[in-house]
Structure 1
Amino acid sequence: MKVLHVNAGNEYGGGLFHILSIFQGISQLEMDLLVFEDGPVAEMARKNGINVFILPQKSRYDLTILSRLKSFINDREYTILHTHGPRANLLISLIRKRLAAKWVMTVHSDPTLDFKDRGIKGRIFEILNLHTIKKTDRVIAVSSEIKEILVNNRVPTDDITVVHNGRNFNLTPSEISKVSDRLNIVTVGRLEWVKGHKYLLQALGKTKHPDWHLTICGAGQEERSLKILADELHLSKKINFLGWVDSLEVSKQIAQADVMVLPSLSESFPLVALEAAENHIPVIATEVGDVKNMIPDKSMGWIVQKASSDELAAAIEEAYADWKTNTLKQKGKHFFNWSSQFTIQKQGLETMKVYQKCLKSEK
């Protein structure tokens, strides 16, 4: 079995680390990575010893790449293609009939929301992406919710396998000295509407206790509007907008926090929550994706309704009370003990089973 992973190359955040975790979780196969631009994915690959090829496009709409892409795949005799992201999905779909390899696709997020609020062009991209998903041999969904969405969009349920994200847990995380006179909150994610940051800011505006500080790791189109909202709520002095930072800085910010908040309107199985667990830090998260599998009860964190600043505020108040009584750390330890089952080895094994099933398929 010879596997080629394909991604546009401009991936940040969870998608990038999902690709990395598959390579770390499957060591027994010959696997390469192909990207269409020399960006963060290629940089990540080089740093981690992953064999990466760059097949550049003049633009994301450049279809002259198709002939070179077909030759690249067939000449190297790959048996499995594993695509990640709409651009990779579309390009492979256009040459699918001329390839000998079987095709596996991971759907990382809700495809009906990936191009939301982008007008007619966004709607066209959404339709194209959903169409390409139906052309694969096997689909990996990173949560049960995403599988349900795909089935509702007429992707055959038997073609879909749920494989949760995994992490290479450090069983003895290093102790980091934390500021003791305030509750340190961290949130990690693109500053886009789907991540729900405005509800977090609104929630903090409703909290009764002033002893908190929020660090936001991420950049995006919502940054300006969020900073304006922070000003309007008189919270700016207590919020640090870090912008986009590399994985090392994200890890540092998570380790220094007392609690993580993930206010997303749509999510799958967030890797940053597993990183919080590794550091014995509890999470307040919205009830989206398979987060409830990660945080099954209040001994480990909080699950709240999405788009509810009131529920977020109540959970933050409870976290503050636990922090004041020094019981918040115990929640973090429980969270770690439960979440450490979601390893990259488990993710790799389940992905391997999908490859094997795909090779046996007549589709």
Structure 2
Amino acid sequence: MRKKIYITCLHLNHGGVEMAITLLANALVKYNYEVEILCTYNFGSPVYPLNKEVKVRYLTDVLPNRESFYAALHSKNPFRICSEGFHALKTLYLKKHCLAKAISNIHNGTIISTRNEDTVILSKYGNANVKKIAQLHHDHKFDKHLIRDFQKKYSNIDYFVLLTETLRSEISDMMKPFNQKTKCITIPNFIDLPADTKFPQKSKQVVSVGRLHTDKGFDRLIDAWSIVHAIHPDWKLKIIGDGPLSDALHTYSEKHSLTNSIIFTGALSHELTMQEMMTSSVYAMTSISEAFPFVLLEAMENYLPIVAYDVRVGPKALIQPEKNGYLIPDGDSHAFAAAICKLIENPSLLREFQMNSFSCVHSFSQETVMKKWIEILN
């Protein structure tokens, strides 16, 4: 009889966490586990390919209305505000209640939670005979609320899986005086590498992918690109993604006279995003914060050297400076631009970094990382 594993998930739409969940679920099936995803919201068919043996159980029939609620507040229409506010409260209640109910009805197997909110519920309602594993897919950034939850509300969690050794060490020290049960371990995300990959045809293009949100720092990328463009006007920057800052970033690009140099594609399918990566020459990341950027694994898979700001955690777990990319002091746009220009101006160095990037990604293959998962699952 196959062992049963449940994985909590907010939704199966676009996102690095959602891709990581999908890959883990697919891999567990290959290792002969029975897998069920406990998914809060149903936005339609899963964006990323999901093994047909993976069962998805949608826990609610409501969808979040954050944007509609903010629009109602802006309208100052009392009826509209009350209507959207009631829907928001109902959604929040069902989100927690339905997951708690689902977890309390599971009496054996393993449950893997993938968000802090889910882990708090798992610790509180998970049955004694169930193995309870928590994950954190982002940097805690010393947030007092998160730290308090780690210390006070994870007492029944067996394993706490962190993406980098830095996060594991920090969180383990935070928890020790309060929780002697939970074992903090490091397991990075992995990527399902194709069996045979040939070096693709590259173009004079730098690419960056992400939600157009403050956290991703695309305004900082535009600042750096204005310097690159002045030196290499024949190169293009392609920004893939959509989000609340779309209009503002278009305006900021126009302000820097980069309308013809920066291409905003909007949101693309995963397949088209990978095609764009394949034909690009360099990947740029200017995020304000990261944890373990899944998109960098995909960039490395597509022979892309990476230029990234050396934020607190994240890029440094994947970039080997002077080998497959450059870690730039956070916020130094001139150094960031100089690193891109160095690669552009040295074709042999660029090719060397591209090959190294593909070589380095094998450390994060499914086969390598799943060995660590199997250890704690068995």
Instruction: Normalising by structure 1, report the TM-score.
Output: 0.82
Secondary structure of the structure 2 residue equivalent to 1:62: helix
**Counterpart in 2 of 1:360?**
none
Provide the rounded CA distance (Å) in 2 between the counterparts of 1:225 and 1:113. Answer: 29
1:83 equivalent in structure 2: 113
Inter-partner Cα distance in structure 1 for 2:201 and 2:185? 42
- 1:218, 1:242 within 8 Å by CA — same for their partners in 2? yes
Structure 1 stretches lacking a partner, 5+ long: 115-122, 357-363
Q: Deviations over 1:279-298 (max 9, x none)?
A: 22211122242533422231
1:32 maps to amino acid? E
Residue identity matched to 1:92: L
**SS of match in other structure, 1:280:** coil
Q: Distance in 1 between matches of 2:240 and 2:324?
A: 23
**Counterpart selection for 2:242 from 207, 219, 224:** 219
User: What residue is the counterpart of 1:6 in the other structure?
Assistant: 8
* Equivalent position of 1:232 in the other structure: 255
2:57 corresponds in structure 1 to: 53
Which residue pairs with 1:102 in the alignment?
131
- 1:159 maps to 2:161: no
Between the aligned partners of 2:26 and 2:283, the Cα distance in structure 1 is 26
Contact 1:112 1:126 in 2 (8 A): no
1:355 counterpart residue number: 377
Cα distance, 1:344–1:60 mapped onto 2, change above 3 Å:
farther
Listed as ranges, the matches of 1:335-346 within 5 Å are 335-346=357-368
Equivalent position of 1:361 in the other structure: none
How far does the alpha carbon of each residue in 1:3-50 deviate from its partner, in whole angstroms, 9 at most, with x for none?
Answer: 100111155321011112212333222221110111378453656652
Measured after TM superposition, the shift of residue 141 of structure 1 is: 0.5
Contact 1:35 1:42 in 2 (8 A): no
Which whole-Å deviations, capped at 9, do the CAs of 1:209-251 have from their partners, x for residues lacking one?
A: 2121111112222323222211111112211212222211111
Structure 1 contact 196–307 (Cα < 8 Å) conserved:
no
Gap change, CA 1:341 and 1:41, over 3 Å in 2: farther
Contact kept, 8 Å, 2:150 with 2:175, in 1: the verdict is no
Amino acid paired to 1:280: Y
* TM alignment of 1:160-199, pairs within 5 A: 160-174=184-198, 176-179=200-203, 183-199=204-220
CA 1:125/1:294 → structure 2, altered by over 3 Å: closer, same or farther?
Answer: closer
CA contact (8 A) 1:161 1:354 kept: no
| Alpha-carbon offset, residue 334 of structure 1 | 1.5
Is contact 2:7–2:111 with CA below 8 Å preserved after alignment?
A: yes
5+ residue gaps, structure 2: 63-89
Query: Structure 1: how far apart are the matches of 2:141 and 2:155?
Result: 14
- Asked if 1 retains the 8 angstrom alpha-carbon contact of 2:103 and 2:125, the reply is no
Larger Rg computed on CA atoms: 2
Seen in structure 2, the aligned counterparts of structure 1 residues 130 and 253 have a Cα distance that, compared at 3 Å, is: farther
Please tell me the root mean square deviation across aligned C-alpha atoms, in Å.
2.9
Given residue 342 of structure 1, which amino acid in structure 2 is its aligned partner?
F
- Greater RCO (Cα-Cα under 8 Å, separation 6 or more): 1
The answer on whether the counterparts of 1:261 and 1:284 sit within 8 Å (CA) in structure 2 is yes
How many Å separate the matches in 2 of 1:61 and 1:226? 31
Alpha-carbon separation, structure 1, partners of 2:233 and 2:58:
50
Could you tell me which amino acid in structure 1 is paired with residue 245 of structure 2? E
State which drifts further: 226-235 or 143-152.
143-152
